[in-house]
Each structure stands twice: as structure tokens, then as C-alpha cells.
Amino acid sequence: MAEDLTALGYEVRELPLLIIEAVADNPHNQSMVMNIDHYQHVICTSQYAARILADALDQYWPQMPMGIHWYAIGQASARPLRELGIRVDCPQQGHTSEDLLQLPALQGVNDHKIALVKGKGGRTALATTLGQRGARLEQMELYQRRPAQPSPSVLNSLLLEWKPQIVVLLSAQNLSHFQFLTSQCAGQSMGVGYLKPNVVVPGERVADLAKSLGFPTIIANSAENNDILRIIQQRWPPAGNDA
């Protein structure tokens, strides 16, 4: 995304907010991968989960098992599995758990075995709703997130000196940590007269949080690069803008 924005003429800097780490291999996850053909449905909730799962499937399954319905929360999450030749269903509109739960194949899942492939923590809407629909759910947690801790000099240079006009934040966790880091700088010299940057977020849930924190908020259609680029170009034509 940074490369695409730069090519369009924006001045771009990156601030990693979350560190994503694969969890250590464990018997539970290994057993789920090796017995993936026991599940009627496999759902990947992020591109990180899908990428790690795809690597494990490639290792343990020389030929992909048949008869499984595969799902992903969005096109980016589907891509690692599709590269293995797997047919993956995604919501036609939106990229949230609620959008995925609208798919017809996930309505009548009473007594169906479902593998939910995800990171540690995160939202519980998928697991809760599928459980209410009678599914027999097992969770495969493949990675964990922890907040990044950029140095004060990096934060000062970016937020106090460079002062971005636009900040792209693709999750509620990213947004919350950005607010925390911003408040750290505010304690030094942002205070009076500081204008919060415009934030671009994917979806109403993250937008509601952004608005509650006082950020001017623009909602993209999804977290896909093309949707983010499109909304930025529409709202802020590239000449002379920083992101």
C-alpha cells in the first residue's frame, strides 16, 4: 500500500503498530491440520491465519482434501488458500464476521464440525453465532499480536514534526494503539491547537471507535488495497498531500 500511494504522488511514512508472531507449533494445532478432512467447514478470519494454515496444509497434505467448504473473511484472507487450488467463499459485500455469517452455507450448520482458524484473542462474534446455530466448533489459534513500541524520537519525528494529514488504520486494535501513542506525544507538546489527522478505516465498527476518539473519519469499502487507495484519491487528490 505504501508503494502504491507513493507511486500516486503521496508522501508516505510507515508506523508499524502491531507485531504479529506465529505461535509455537503445538499438538492441538498439528492434530487439527492433519485431520482437516474431518471438518465440514474451515473458516480463516485473517490473511495471517490463512497464510500459516496454507503453509501447514502444503506440508501435511500433498493433495488437498475434498468435501470441505472453505471460507475467508475477505479476498486477502482467501488468497493463500486459493494459491493451493482451494475454492474459497467470501462475502460479496463487506469483510466482517457479520458479513461472513450471512453466507447461505453457514446458516444450517447444526451438528456440523467447523474449524475456526484465527489469531489469539480478537472478536468472538463468529464463534458465538456459529455455536448458537448448533455447530461443533474447534478453534485453531495460529498467531498472536502485541503492540509495537516505537521510540519517542520516532513518534516525535512522525507526529509532531511531519504531522500526517491522513492515517490508514485497518483494525480497531491498530486504532486503539495509535490513539495511545498519540496521547503519549500529546503529553509532551501536542496539547493546544493540535488537530487530529484524518483516519481511513475499513467498516462501520472501526469507524464508530475512531469517531468516539475524536478522529475525522473516512470509511473505505474494505481493507483491500484498491478500496483504500480509491477513497484516498477521491477525498484527497495526490498533489501536495501527505499520508
Q: Which residues contact 129 (CB under 8 A, 6 or more apart)?
A: 97, 101
Question: Are 2-17+148-235 and 20-146 in the same CATH fold?
Answer: yes
Beta bridge partners of 71: 43, 89
Which of 93-102, 113-122, 172-181, 229-238 has the lowest average pLDDT? 93-102
Surface-to-core class of residue 98, CB atoms within 10 Å of its CB (0-12 exposed, 13-18 middle, 19+ buried):
middle
Question: Quick one: average pLDDT of 80-95?
Answer: 91
Q: Are 143 and 119 in contact (CB under 8 A)?
A: yes
Q: What is the residue extent of each domain of the chain?
A: 2-17+148-235, 20-146
Using the predicted structure, report yes or no on whether residue 181 has a pLDDT greater than 60: yes
Q: Under CATH, what is the fold of the domain 2-17+148-235?
A: Rossmann fold (3.40.50)
Of 105, 101, 74, 110, whose CA–CA distance to 90 is shortest? 74
User: What pLDDT is attached to residue 242?
Assistant: 65
Question: Quick one: average pLDDT of 210-223?
Answer: 92
Using the predicted structure, report yes or no on whether residue 193 has a pLDDT greater than 60: no
Which of 10-14, 36-40, 158-162 has the lowest average pLDDT? 158-162
Q: Under CATH, what is the fold of the domain 20-146?
A: Rossmann fold (3.40.50)
- Terminal-to-terminal C-alpha distance of the chain: 11
pLDDT, tens only, 146-167: 999 999 889 889 988 898 999 9
When pLDDT is cut at 50, 70 and 90, the band that residue 81 belongs to is very high
Using the predicted structure, report yes or no on whether residue 192 has a pLDDT greater than 50: no
When pLDDT is cut at 50, 70 and 90, the band that residue 222 belongs to is confident
DSSP letter string, 161-225 = II--SEEE--SHHHHHHHHHHHHHHIIIII-TTPPPPEEEEESHHHHHHHHHTT--EEEES-SSH
Q: Are 35 and 8 in contact (CB under 8 A)?
A: no
